Amino acid sequence: MSTEAFAPDRPYRLSPSVALRPEPFGALVYDFTTRKLSFLKTRLLVDVVHALEEAPDAHAALRSAEVPDGQHGQYLDALAGLASAGTIEVRGD
């Protein structure tokens, strides 16, 4: 679990203890440490999570995955949830 609040101006990545399995409807994400299964409900969110790895911050990942402007708030909320669950974490580079 992350103790830090989600900060969209920082770089993130999928946590090393997490496996992401693509599915036709989005993706399943399993955390080997917490043994929780998360369901990413849209392919766009899966694209965003992948984009995090290369993006300088979460805002940039949203743009790179071409999330429509009107949905940025919703996707940042989703990322905040994933960060607090430990699914994604701040990238230290």
Per-residue mark of binding to other proteins, 15-54 (x: CB under 8 A)? ----x-x-x-x--x-x-xx-xxxxxxxx--x---------
Residue 23 to residue 20: CA distance in whole angstroms: 10
Closer residue to other proteins in complex, CB, 19/93: 19
Q: Which residue, 27, 61, 59, is CA-closest to 42?
A: 27
Q: Is residue 74 within the footprint of other proteins (CB under 8 A)?
A: yes
Quote the least distance from Cβ 74 to other proteins, whole Å. 7
